[in-house]
Amino acid sequence: MTDRTSLPREESQNTPVKTMFAGVPTAEEIDRWLGVTFQILGKGGKLPLLHDDLRLIGDAHVNAQYHPLWYIKNRILSGYICWEQTKQPSTLFSSLADGRSLYDIIMLNKAIQILQAMQARKEQTLLIVPIHVRTLCDRRAREFFRFYCELHAANFSRSLVFMVQGLDEQRMLEPDFENVQRIHSFCRALILQTSYKNDNIARYVRLRPHACGFALDDFKGDEEQLFEHINKYAESCEKAGMKSFITGVDKVSIMTAAIGAGITYLQGHTIGEEVTQPRHVEFMGIDSVYKQIFPEQTKAAILPEDPFTTTPPTEI
């Protein structure tokens, strides 16, 4: 690899794509690249090729899928959650000391590429980018993340939502809360993903989140137990003055229970399949969801009454 300290300080937007890698980056090359990157950041240096370096690593090793998020009351698909899907070898990032934070920044890099393309087409949506709390609590990873945000994400802050994950795994100290709070300046909103069993949502109010939610992936139990958790979680969020969301909804019964409980946002196969390219904000009422799930059965059926009769807003 070339010594990055000898690189020019600025790159024109019209300059052809350049990176520090001669070909597909290997784990060894990425590890070395990370070491040099952290060293330069620690000295306050410039990283003019950072965006393209991250893009090359991401293109080689990470696929991104975009899952529509349904804003139930306003009857719109207001955004897409960016989920990563590792290419082979799947152990590449787990073998790196800073693999988790690199993953997070690569997904942010991919989101910015999408937003750049949508901006050129005059399209609008929200992209929800997961960020693990360890990325924000570890000094080196946090500096890397903030540097990239200041360099590239600031221009798209009105279209970015950060979803902080791993809060239940982290013993949050006072400095950790402060570090999470600081990313507000780089995004439209902050949302938090916790365990469905979390019974202390109010402790996160100080982070000023727009919403708290949980994924169904780890739930073990029957639907009756799940519905109880959904009701309790929605009630906790409402008491704390937050909106709520659930990801991974794959049954109509769960969707119906979540709507009845007052959950604000839903994501899952029942709502819509993942896409490789997010689309402009779309209208989707409850009747649209049922027609999508049961196209034949709903042709002559009387659909459940939509409890939200307000006209969908033109803004997201």
63-293 placed in CATH 3.20.20.450: yes
Model pLDDT, residue 111: 95
pTM summary value: 0.84
pLDDT-above-70 percentage for the chain: 81
For residue 115, pLDDT beyond 60: yes
> Dihedral sign, CA of 11, 15, 17, 18?
negative
Q: Give the per-residue SS3 of the chain.
A: CCCHHHCCCCCCCCCCCCCCCCCCCCHHHHHHHHHHHHHHHHCCCCCCCHHHHHHHHHHHHEEEEEEEEEECCCCEEEEEEEEEEECCCCCCCCCCCCHHHHHHHHHHHHHHHHHHHHHHCCCCCEEEEEEEHHHHHCHHHHHHHHHHHHHCHHHHHHHEEEEEECHHHCCCCHHHHHHHHHHHHHCCEEEEEECCCCCCHHHHHHHCCCEEEEECCCCCCCHHHHHHHHHHHHHHHHHCCCEEEEECCCCHHHHHHHHHHCCCEECCCCCCCCECCCCCCEECCHHHHHHHHCCCCCCCCCCCCCCCCCCCCCCC
Model pLDDT, residue 257: 95
What pLDDT digit, counting tens, does each position of 199-232 carry? Answer: 889 999 999 999 999 999 878 889 999 999 999 9
Model pLDDT, residue 18: 62
Give mean pLDDT, residues 76-91: 78
CA 111 to chain centre: 9
Mean pLDDT check: name the lowest of 88-97, 98-107, 179-188. Answer: 88-97
Model pLDDT, residue 296: 57
Are 230 and 262 in contact, with CB atoms under 8 Å apart?
no
Q: What is the mean pLDDT of the chain?
A: 83
Domain ranges of the chain: 63-293
The residue that leads in pLDDT, 153 or 157, is 157
